[in-house]
């Protein structure tokens, strides 16, 4: 019975790693349960799915229906309550991880075959089956971790710390020699000892601890990134209010000089100098216009971002035209508005700087509300890059797609006749 419990524990160890990988490859909902609950769901499904090891000595033939049903229920619960990415993306991630675990099992079988081991006893009470389950579990955990690390490496999500994959190399280096020695002993007809199992189990435990540390470090880095974004948002809002106060002070000075300006204009009109009077009136109107508290719209964070980006455009010789016909609460979180307008304009500015000097550089930004929807469009000239996508369609585009999915909307980039157009439709959440 001891050997069956070892097989059960080794097989169940895949559950938390699967849960950690799921959690690192997609952002959780804002009202989602705690992380241990999300990871615990997949741990529980793997524990219950492996319970047959304790009930039967010999492995069951065919597909384990209980494990399949439990995995389906765990996937449905996570889709419905845990993560805010689209259903299609969640389904892809789940199937990718299930396929990864299956491939690891096949690799374990292949390794056993390559070492020309005699046929397994097919009895969980025997040490050779403990060895086989241990190798399969270690392979599954390692490959699941590498998949999550590769997901981050490809830029699909930033919820894994840099250099994650390197942390699995140490337990792998400890596990491999002992596993090879044990399998070689079995091939030569020797008995597998508990010392072999204990040494490999120690490497498995070490790998689980390192994986747990890495995923916790990933969560810490994610929190730090969120704090950095919030600080940036606060800084932009502070700059906005400082500019508003500066405009109010300027407006106060204009009010003080208002009568003097009007007296001068009347004097010019009485003297027949209409052109000079018109120039002074236009100058006064421009000065008043420049003191508007909300030059783009009445949403402070949007005003702050556009004011900052307009300054960048002015330095680079780019014309920025903004026509935003919405005010007040549009049902989109300020931090998401910050990401939307920041990424749209960053991509547009980057594309304009890559144009030849003789081509015009102009960015047109439009936004309006239609019912419960927020519609945003950004047009800018661009050069088609070496790939199938136009310049400016990198990681910023992925951020915009993720935001669109979270708000049940759509992000549509297009490139036609030298103009790159980004359209964003969001369903506002009151």
Average pLDDT over residues 136-141: 82
C-beta neighbour count of 291 within 10 angstroms: 17
Q: CA 335 to CA 229: how far, in whole Å?
A: 7
- The full DSSP string for 121-176 is ---TTSHHHHHHHHHHHHHHHHHHHHHHHHHHHTTS---S-TTTGGGGHHHHHHHH
d(CA 326, CA 22): 38
Per-residue confidence (pLDDT) for residue 227, from 0 to 100:
78
Residue 389 pLDDT level (bands cut at 50, 70, 90): very low
For 10, 59, 122, 324, the CA distances from 55, given in Å and listed in that order, are 16, 10, 14, 66
Candidates 422, 363, 417; CA nearest to 393 is: 422
C-alpha span between 258 and 247 (Å, rounded): 16
CA-nearest of 302, 190, 284 to 240 is: 302
Average pLDDT, the chain: 76
Q: Which of 101, 166, 104 is nearest to 135 (CA)?
A: 104
Query: 147-196: per-residue pLDDT in tens?
Result: 887 776 666 665 666 666 566 666 666 666 766 666 666 665 566 666 76
What pLDDT shows up at residue 244? 59
Tokens 């304790």 — which residue?
A: 54
Give the C-alpha separation, 342 to 302, whole Å: 9
Percent of the chain topping pLDDT 90: 7
**8 Å CB contact between 381 and 359:** yes
Q: Produce one character per residue of 310-348: b if its CB has 16 or more CB atoms within 10 Å, e if not.
A: beebeeeebebebebebeeebebebebbbbbbbbbbebb
Query: Does the pLDDT at position 428 exceed 70?
Result: yes
Asked if 207 contacts 171 with a C-beta cutoff of 8 angstroms, the reply is yes
Confidence of residue 380 (pLDDT cuts 50, 70, 90): very high
The separation between the first and the last C-alpha atoms of the chain, rounded to the nearest angstrom, is 58
- Which class for 163: exposed (0-12), middle (13-18), buried (19 or more C-beta within 10 A)? exposed
Asked if 141 and 207 count as a contact pair (C-beta separation under 8 A), the reply is: yes
3-state secondary structure of 20: helix
pLDDT digits (tens, 9 = 90+) for 200-246: 777 777 777 777 777 777 777 777 777 776 776 677 667 656 665 66
Q: CA-to-CA distance for 133 and 129, rounded, in angstroms?
A: 6
**pTM to 2 decimals?**
0.52
Of all helices (H) and strands (E), which one includes residue 89? helix 87-114
Structure tokens, 371: 């019912």
The per-residue pLDDT for range 390-420, each reduced to its tens digit, is 444 456 787 888 888 888 888 999 988 889 9
61 token code pair: 């033939």
Residues 6+ apart with CB under 8 A from 13: 137, 141, 204, 208
What letter would DSSP give residue 167? G
Q: Are 105 and 157 in contact (CB under 8 A)?
A: no
Nearest to 376 by CA among 400, 347, 405, 406: 400
Q: Which three-class secondary structure state does DSSP give residue 54?
A: helix
**Beta strands 362-370 and 319-325, pairing class:** parallel
Q: How many CB atoms lie within 10 A of CB 166?
A: 10
* pLDDT at residue 378 greater than cutoff 90: yes
Q: How do residues 347-357 score in pLDDT, each as one tens digit?
A: 999 999 989 88
* Share above pLDDT 70 across residues of the chain, in percent, rounded to a whole number: 70
What is the four-CA torsion angle of 255, 256, 262, 267, rounded to 10 degrees? -170
Confidence of residue 98 (pLDDT cuts 50, 70, 90): confident
pLDDT in tens, 240-293: 566 656 666 666 666 666 666 677 777 777 777 777 777 777 776 666 555 555
**pLDDT reported for residue 241:** 64
Q: CA dihedral in degrees (200, 203, 207, 209; nearest 10)? A: 120
């Amino acid at each position: 019975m001891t050997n069956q419990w070892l097989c059960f524990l080794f097989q169940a160890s895949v559950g938390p790693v699967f849960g950690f990988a799921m959690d690192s490859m997609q952002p959780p909902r804002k009202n989602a349960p705690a992380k241990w609950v999300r990871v615990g769901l997949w741990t529980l499904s793997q524990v219950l799915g492996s319970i047959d090891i304790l009930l039967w000595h010999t492995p069951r033939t065919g597909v384990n229906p209980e494990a399949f049903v439990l995995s389906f229920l765990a996937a449905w619960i996570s889709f419905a309550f845990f993560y805010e990415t689209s259903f299609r993306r969640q389904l892809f991630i789940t199937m990718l991880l299930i396929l990864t675990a299956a491939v690891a099992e096949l690799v374990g079988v292949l390794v056993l075959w390559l070492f020309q081991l005699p046929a397994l006893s097919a009895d969980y009470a025997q040490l050779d089956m403990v060895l086989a389950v241990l190798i399969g579990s270690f392979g599954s955990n390692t490959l699941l971790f590498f998949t999550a690390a590769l997901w981050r490496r490809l830029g699909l999500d930033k919820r894994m710390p840099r250099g994650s994959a390197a942390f699995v190399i140490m337990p792998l280096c400890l596990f491999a020699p002992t596993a090879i020695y044990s399998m070689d002993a079995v091939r030569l007809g020797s008995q597998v000892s508990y010392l072999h199992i204990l040494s490999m189990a120690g490497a498995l435990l070490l790998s689980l601890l390192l994986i747990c540390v890495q995923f916790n470090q990933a969560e810490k880095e994610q929190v730090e990134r969120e704090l950095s974004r919030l600080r940036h948002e606060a800084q932009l809002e502070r700059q906005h209010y400082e500019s508003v106060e500066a405009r109010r002070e300027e407006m106060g000075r204009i009010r003080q000089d208002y009568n003097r300006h009007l007296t001068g204009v009347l004097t010019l009109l009485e003297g027949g100098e209409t052109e000079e009077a018109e120039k002074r009136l236009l100058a006064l109107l421009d000065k008043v216009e420049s003191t508007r508290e909300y030059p783009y719209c009445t949403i402070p964070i949007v005003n702050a971002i556009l004011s900052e980006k307009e300054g960048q455009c002015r330095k680079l010789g780019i014309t920025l035209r903004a026509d935003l016909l919405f005010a007040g609460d549009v049902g989109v979180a300020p931090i998401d508005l910050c990401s939307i307008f920041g990424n749209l304009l960053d991509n547009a500015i980057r594309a304009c700087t890559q144009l030849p000097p003789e081509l015009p550089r102009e960015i047109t930004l439009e936004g309006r509300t239609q019912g419960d929807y927020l519609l945003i469009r950004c047009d800018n000239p661009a050069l088609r890059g070496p790939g199938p996508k136009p310049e400016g369609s990198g990681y910023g585009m992925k951020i915009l797609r993720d935001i669109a999915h979270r708000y049940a909307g759509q992000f549509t980039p297009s490139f036609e006749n030298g103009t790159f157009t980004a359209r964003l439709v969001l369903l506002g959440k009151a």
